[in-house]
Amino acid sequence: MYFNIVNMVFIVNTLLMAISSITYPVIPLYIVGSGLGIVLAGIVTSIASIASFSSQIIWGYISDRIGKRSRVMLYGCIIMVLFFSLATIFSNNILVLLSSYILSSVGSAAVGVSSYALIADISSRDLGKNMSIYWAGGSLGWATPLLFAGWLLKTYGVMSIFLISLLISSMVLVLTIAIIFIDRDIAVKSNRGGRWSVKPIINLMKNKAFLALYISSFMFMVGDVVKNIYIPQYHAYRVGLGESLATAILSLASWFEIPAILLFGHLLSIVSGVSIYIASLASMALYLYFNSVVGNFITASIVMASYSIVWASYITSVSVLVPITVDAENRGLALGLVNSNFALANIASNIVISYMVSSYGYNQTFITVATIMLALALFIAIAFKLSRPSS
């Protein structure tokens, strides 16, 4: 039964990340291409990030209280289907379209964090293997639509983007209903009673091991923002590769991530999760540093491909370390907090990074962030040595 659930959640995460891949980069392109301006595109992206950030924490908390992750996944699917339907029907109404896009992220957050926690609940013995399967699906889902999303928008318009998102979210809904029928033995017992409280968050932040993971995870995601936004700019405009080549190079890492994630899932049964996590922070620093000396298409491609190792080592190790550093009844909240760091980094770091780039240039910005990442790797090594969580 557990094997079937892991496979089904793998498909769910693949489809969920496909929705993100087909909307996250394309909707801002549509806004700018429609003559509505870069400012509006930035505002919509920021609001969607805020909605995703807060929703992942809230849904993680709710999934802990309810105890059934699949039920929260169902709520998220209904929200996605509802708002993607509205966006498809009223695609000519820009207000409805953009509002639906933002609100659909609330649903995707519910499915994402609950499916993540469900994998963690299944088996502590096979946690590394199961998480690697889960995140390999995420990379597959992210990489595939990048091949045709821009062409789809240009050829068939924005309605096609939301129609495909509606079809995919409907598939996720069907899979979630199937999971509900077969995961009856997987439940988290909550001792919180009926009251809502911020105490679980406070308790998590008092956990030194979790706090170290949370802070370093946020900084890693700042590096990920640099990789997704500023490194393509550097490749396109400073190295002189142009926009098409720069975006093509960006998709390279996603394909290499799939086997890399499966490899690190296997390594977690041999090597300490803490060691792999520290290595992921250090490798992010090296990745950013090497980008500061990229000078042509070949070196840009090689360095970008190496990001697959950076991401794979991070996502597999953090997915194992978070569940074992917190109590089972706080697992959904803890994973929601860590997973929401991607959205938080997008909200918080863009202003700082863009200022650094405009003031000091791309190269110096990459080196500065790389130096911070190396310092963090050392900090985490010390923090985990003191707290000594099991791994």
CB 260 within 8 A of CB 312: yes
- Is the distance from CB of 76 to CB of 109 less than 8 angstroms? yes
What are the CA-CA distances from residue 85 to residues 167, 361, 370 (Å)? 9, 43, 43
If one compares 37 and 115, the residue with the highest pLDDT of the two is 115
Q: Is 143 left (phi over 0), alpha (psi -120 to 50) or beta?
A: alpha
What is the C-alpha separation between 390 and 324, in angstroms, rounded?
A: 7
- The pLDDT tens digits of the residues spanning 328-358 come to 778 888 888 888 888 888 887 777 888 888 8
Is residue 100 very low, low, confident or very high in pLDDT (cuts 50, 70, 90)? very high
| 184/68 Cα distance (integer angstroms) | 9
The per-residue pLDDT for 390 is 47
Above 70 in pLDDT, residue 96? yes
| Closest among 241, 18, 252, 215 to 112, alpha carbons compared | 18
This prediction has a pTM of: 0.82
- For residues 80-87, give the mean pLDDT: 94
Q: Is there a common fold for 1-186 and 198-391? A: yes
Q: Residue ranges per domain, the chain? A: 1-186, 198-391
At the topology level of CATH, where does 198-391 sit? Answer: Growth Hormone; Chain: A; (1.20.1250)
104: left (phi over 0), alpha (psi -120 to 50) or beta: alpha
> 175: closest CA among 74, 90, 244?
74
pLDDT tens sequence across 267-288? 888 888 889 999 999 999 999 9
| pLDDT score, position 350 | 72
Pick among 3.20.20.220, 1.20.1250.20, 1.10.287.1080, 1.10.630.10: CATH of 1-186: 1.20.1250.20
Kindly tell me if the per-residue pLDDT of 12 is higher than 90: yes
